[in-house]
Amino acid sequence: MDRSQIENIVELAQKGWFQGVPHDEASQLVQLSSLKALQQGEFVYMIGSQPESVFCILEGQVKLSIIDPSGEELVLTIWEKGRWFGEASFEEHMGMPLEAQAITDASILVVPISVIEQTLSNTAPFYKNIMLDIIARAKLLYQLVETLMFKPLNARVATRVLHLVELFGQDGDEGVVLPVKFSQSDFARMSGGSRQRVNQIFRRWGEEGIIVKRNNRYVITDVGALREESEIRISN
Residues 12-61: pLDDT tens digits? 998 899 999 999 999 999 999 999 999 999 999 999 999 999 999 999 99
Q: Biggest alpha carbon distance in the chain? A: 61
Which residue range forms the structural domain that includes residue 62? 3-147
> Average model confidence (pLDDT) for the chain?
92
End-to-end CA distance of the chain: 59
Do residues 194 and 212 both lie within one domain? yes
Whether residue 236 lies inside any domain: the answer is no
Whether residue 77 lies inside any domain: the answer is yes
According to the model, what pLDDT value does residue 126 have?
94
Do residues 115 and 170 both lie within one domain? no
For residue 23, what is the domain's CATH number?
2.60.120.10
What digits encode the pLDDT tens for the residues 52-99? 999 999 999 999 999 887 778 888 889 999 999 999 999 887 899 999
Q: Is the distance from CB of 58 to CB of 125 less than 8 angstroms?
A: no
pTM above 0.75, yes or no: yes
Whether residue 235 lies inside any domain: the answer is no
Q: Is the distance from CB of 102 to CB of 60 less than 8 angstroms?
A: yes
Q: Is the distance from CB of 27 to CB of 10 less than 8 angstroms?
A: yes
Do residues 136 and 171 both lie within one domain? no
Whether residue 186 lies inside any domain: the answer is yes
Which residues face 25 on adjacent strands? none
Q: Is the distance from CB of 95 to CB of 51 less than 8 angstroms?
A: no
Do residues 52 and 124 both lie within one domain? yes
From 124, 147, 170, give the residue that closes a domain: 147
From 98, 132, 147, give the residue that closes a domain: 147
Do residues 72 and 131 both lie within one domain? yes
What letter would DSSP give residue 36?
Answer: E
Do residues 11 and 103 both lie within one domain? yes
Overall domain count for the chain: 2
Do residues 129 and 173 both lie within one domain? no
DSSP H/E element including 156: helix 153-168
Q: Which residues of 179-197 are buried (b: 16+ CB within 10 A; e: fewer)?
A: ebebebebbbbbbbbeeee
For residue 184, what is the domain's CATH number?
1.10.10.10
Q: Is the distance from CB of 87 to CB of 130 less than 8 angstroms?
A: yes
Cα–Cα distance, 136 to 73 (Å, whole number): 23
Do residues 130 and 190 both lie within one domain? no
What digits encode the pLDDT tens for the residues 147-166? 888 999 999 999 999 989 98
Cα–Cα distance, 38 to 97 (Å, whole number): 21
Whether residue 43 lies inside any domain: the answer is yes
Q: What is the mean pLDDT of residues 191-213?
A: 94
According to the model, what pLDDT value does residue 73 have?
86
Whether residue 218 lies inside any domain: the answer is yes
Do residues 7 and 111 both lie within one domain? yes
Do residues 164 and 52 both lie within one domain? no
Please say if the pLDDT value at position 236 is more than 80: no
Do residues 159 and 133 both lie within one domain? no
Q: What is the mean pLDDT of residues 136-142?
A: 89
Q: Which residues of 108-127 are buried (b: 16+ CB within 10 A; e: fewer)?
A: bbbbbeebbeebbeeeeebe
Please say if the pLDDT value at position 196 is more than 90: yes
From 97, 125, 147, give the residue that closes a domain: 147
Cα–Cα distance, 82 to 29 (Å, whole number): 16
According to the model, what pLDDT value does residue 225 have?
95
Do residues 160 and 77 both lie within one domain? no
What digits encode the pLDDT tens for the residues 110-120? 999 999 999 99
